[in-house]
Structure 1
């Protein structure tokens, strides 16, 4: 997994640089890396984004997103050399009032002197501040930022309220059954040793969903990659890892009942009847050429 492109940051990269050229240049400028040009593999980690930069609830289900993904037009803003600036209307108004008071204190004469007409330079200064405040107001840009499987067609969160879809794709009757299966693999599934690189852009629930769909519907890797918005390599990595992981965990479960339990549930007609198997060994002699055997 590529590391974060921010200088001095050694965290694994999560968010790919946007494909839009304008937004991509803003990201490159924000990280302050000299002569840096982002490639298709360049990434940034989550530490450089504010919590408000992520989508809170799903637009389709109204529930909180399991897999975080960025809002449209988001630009990284948290770096060691930067300080977080509040952009709420109250903070902008208070800063404007403080700047206005400083300007007025600077141009206001002493009490003994007569008050002159308002200075045109002060008006220009105030209008400049107002213009800068307007420029500071964030503008919505219709550009999407890629973040893993959250942009895919299928996800566990999208099928949460659709038992028919869950049964069709996984064979489980409803969402609660799916979560029960996931609970049997927890918390070990949070620390998997992947066959390939570590998968961090697909949540644990969606990884199990991909595996069960592969087993139930026998979908090709290309189709699963398209439905979940990830690469075919990631699909293969998830499936191979989870198949081996589920085998190791579920093979530890003792599926055979004890002798006492078998006798307890055995029908009354069977309890006094037991089949006895015996073997009888008899030595035989036959010609070496084998004709005698016929």
Structure 2
């Protein structure tokens, strides 16, 4: 084993073998190099957040899909059947104001419990929800428009198939209650 000495730094490196055929390093000069960057702490924070998102592939997939669906009017129409981003936002605004809290369907009679989450001292039990209300609304519209199966929707939104079923059933019933008075059906001829 050879020991190589770098004269200007007093650093010694052990070398088992040499690829160049020579062991002489007397001509080597070393110097310190400083690196400057124009990144601010805000840039670093933003990069750290992006790194954390990469650690959660379900969340990343959901964010990318929602971004793709809401990118422009054509995309909104293709995925949801609504004519524009403005109409998507308007419908969601109506529904969001109509009921700030939803009791999610989990079988017949499951939504009958009154005062669900009405007490601010006792919020929703269980784990924090992965989907925002807007994501749930979008999930419902995409499933209605494209007739995708629950496992495909579950993969796109990073939740379980049973969760997709719960969200879909809840939002369909909720939209029925809110929009029925606003719809005028043609009478039979």
* TM-score for both structures, normalised by structure 2: 0.53
Question: Which residue of the other structure, out of 73, 85, 105, is the alignment partner of 1:195?
Answer: 105
Structure of higher CA gyration radius: 1
What does 1:37-48 align with in structure 2 at a 5 Å threshold?
Answer: none
Give the Cα separation in 2 of the matches to 1:198 and 1:254.
37
Deviations 1:239-274 (CA, angstroms, capped at 9, x unpaired): 011011111111233648xxxxxxxxxxxxxxxxxx
Question: Which residue of the other structure, out of 233, 246, 257, is the alignment partner of 2:162?
Answer: 233
Give the Cα separation in 2 of the matches to 1:231 and 1:175.
27
Q: Could you say what the CA RMSD is over the residues aligned between the two structures, in angstroms?
A: 3.1
Question: Which residue of the other structure, out of 159, 163, 172, is the alignment partner of 1:243?
Answer: 172
Give the helix-richer structure, 1 or 2: 2
Which secondary structure state, in structure 2, belongs to the residue aligned with residue 251 of structure 1? helix
Give the Cα separation in 1 of the matches to 2:167 and 2:127.
9
What does 1:60-99 align with in structure 2 at a 5 Å threshold?
Answer: 71-72=50-51
Report deviation, 1:220: 0.2
What's the counterpart of residue 148 of structure 2?
Answer: 219
What does 1:255-274 align with in structure 2 at a 5 Å threshold?
Answer: 255=184
What's the counterpart of residue 69 of structure 2?
Answer: 159
Count of paired positions: 121
What does 1:107-186 align with in structure 2 at a 5 Å threshold?
Answer: 144-146=54-56, 149-152=59-62, 153-155=64-66, 157-186=67-96
Kept in 2, the 8 Å contact 1:194–1:241? The answer is yes
